């Protein structure tokens, strides 16, 4: 068993408090738990995000609660008894909301001030899949853009129904869909939400220097990430100010908020090169929802604009809801 902290008369809890800044800087999810019942005694914020559980509530749970099947916990215990360590095993975890996701999991027994503990570390394999899909989609978009350029005049205006740069819908199509979905809600009931996402650290667009390539590249990645995250019934569009709008039929504010959190978390995994330096992508999001007494989408869109303005004032990773 590996010793994490030298015995000097202090308690294991004191040692954990000392180690917490180090735990928070680990690149990946890290959870320390009791070997008997799996009760979590420490974790970093990334673990809290992927398990969809607030950090304070996470400390009241067992790590085994996040395994889809009771047999998984028994298998981990047996393997640790036999080998003292599990390394980079492909398996599934489950969020508090019941969503399953693939991870690479490592577990090891350690001693912290003579108290035995288990250290769980894991990474979300779906991120690698998303990045691969984003790169494939990026190549498709580049080819698609080249084909469009060949067939359109240089001075031609952007299509009202489709955005040439990103491949998402234009605002003409978005507004038509918003009116149609509002009519559907009025006729049959249900919910309708809308999301606006803005990149907050996008590079300056300087056409004479780089033709805006870094800016356009990041915008295409953000648009493709939105497309990868929505259902067939949803619609993504780009506005003239490069705001990405996502129309979400049959979705309430809680569902829209969950999508916003997923998009911001995924965007933070993206990096881009600008003027020889690597930068991390970041965004803020405004949300709104159609109210039962509204006969058209205009009030919802006005609230969306105000929510986005407040989110931009807050900065990176802000989500403002105005139902």
Mean pLDDT of 216-231: 86
Sign of CA dihedral 94, 97, 99, 102: negative
The tens digit of pLDDT for each residue in 91-142 reads 899 998 888 888 889 999 888 777 888 999 998 877 666 666 677 777 777 7
Q: Are 300 and 289 in contact (CB under 8 A)?
A: yes
What are the sequence ranges of the domains in the chain?
A: 2-124, 157-322
Q: Can you tell me the distance from the alpha carbon of 44 to that of 27, in angstroms, rounded to the nearest whole number?
A: 10
The stretch 196-217 carries a mean pLDDT of 70
User: 2-124: CATH homologous superfamily?
Assistant: PAS domain (3.30.450.20)
Helix axes 213-229, 253-267, angle to 10 degrees: 140
pLDDT at res. 84: 79
Distances (CA, A) of 203 to 165, 211, 217, 275, 281: 16, 12, 10, 9, 10
Tell me how far apart the alpha carbons of residues 225 and 105 are, in angstroms, rounded to a whole number.
Answer: 25
230 or 136: which leads in pLDDT: 230
pLDDT at 184: 92
Query: 147-199, pLDDT tens digit by residue?
Result: 666 655 444 444 456 777 888 999 999 999 999 999 999 999 999 999 999 99
Position 18 scores a pLDDT of 61
pLDDT in tens, 35-70: 888 999 889 888 988 899 998 898 879 999 999 988
Q: Quote the CA–CA distance of 40 and 198 in Å, as a whole number.
A: 36
d(CA 260, CA 244): 12
- What pLDDT score was predicted for residue 274? 67
Higher-confidence residue of 223 and 276: namely 223
pLDDT at residue 65, as a whole number: 92
Q: 157-322, what's its fold?
A: Alpha-Beta Plaits (3.30.70)
State the average pLDDT over residues 250-264: 93
Name the pLDDT band for 143 (thresholds 50, 70, 90): confident
- pLDDT score for 154: 43
pTM for the model: 0.51
* 3-class SS shares of the chain: helix, strand, coil, % to 5: 45, 25, 30
Residue closest to 46 by CA, chosen among 107, 114, 120:
120
pLDDT of residue 3: 42
pLDDT of residue 276: 66
Nearest to 109 by CA among 90, 86, 91, 88: 86
* Confidence at residue 270, expressed as pLDDT on a 0 to 100 scale: 77
In tens, the pLDDT along 267-320 reads: 888 776 666 677 788 899 999 999 999 999 999 999 999 999 999 999 889 999
Contacts within 8 Å (CB) and 24+ apart, 181-184: 181/247, 181/249, 181/297, 182/290, 182/294, 182/295, 182/296, 182/297, 184/249
């Amino acid at each position: 068993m590996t010793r994490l902290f030298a015995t000097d008369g202090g308690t294991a809890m004191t040692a954990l408090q000392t180690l917490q800044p180090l735990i928070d800087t680990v690149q990946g999810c890290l959870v320390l738990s009791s070997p008997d019942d799996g009760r979590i005694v420490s974790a970093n914020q990334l673990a809290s995000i992927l398990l969809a559980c607030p950090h304070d509530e996470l400390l009241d749970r067992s790590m085994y609660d996040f395994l889809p099947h009771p047999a998984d916990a028994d298998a981990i215990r047996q393997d640790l008894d036999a080998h003292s360590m599990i390394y980079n095993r492909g398996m599934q975890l489950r969020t508090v909301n019941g969503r399953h996701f693939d991870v690479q999991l490592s577990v090891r027994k350690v001693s912290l001030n003579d108290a035995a503990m288990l250290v769980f570390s894991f990474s979300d394999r779906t991120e690698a899949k998303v990045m691969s899909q984003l790169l494939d989609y990026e190549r498709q978009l580049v080819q698609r853009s080249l084909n469009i350029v060949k067939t359109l005049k240089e001075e031609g205006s952007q299509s009202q129904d489709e955005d040439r740069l990103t491949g998402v819908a234009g605002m003409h199509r978005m507004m038509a869909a918003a009116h149609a979905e509002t009519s559907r809600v009025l006729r049959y009931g249900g919910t309708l939400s809308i999301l606006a996402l803005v990149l907050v650290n996008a590079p300056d667009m300087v056409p004479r220097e780089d033709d805006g390539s870094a800016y356009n590249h990041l915008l295409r990645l953000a648009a493709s990430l939105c497309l990868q995250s929505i259902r067939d019934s949803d619609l993504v569009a780009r506005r003239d100010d490069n705001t990405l709008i996502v129309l979400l039929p049959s979705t309430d504010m809680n569902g829209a908020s969950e999508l916003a959190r997923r998009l911001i978390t995924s965007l933070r995994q993206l990096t881009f090169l600008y003027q020889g330096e690597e930068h991390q992508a970041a965004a803020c999001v405004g949300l709104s929802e159609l109210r039962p007494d509204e006969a058209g989408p205009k009030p919802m869109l006005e609230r969306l604009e105000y929510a986005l303005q407040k989110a931009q004032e807050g900065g990176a990773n802000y989500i403002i809801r105005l139902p």
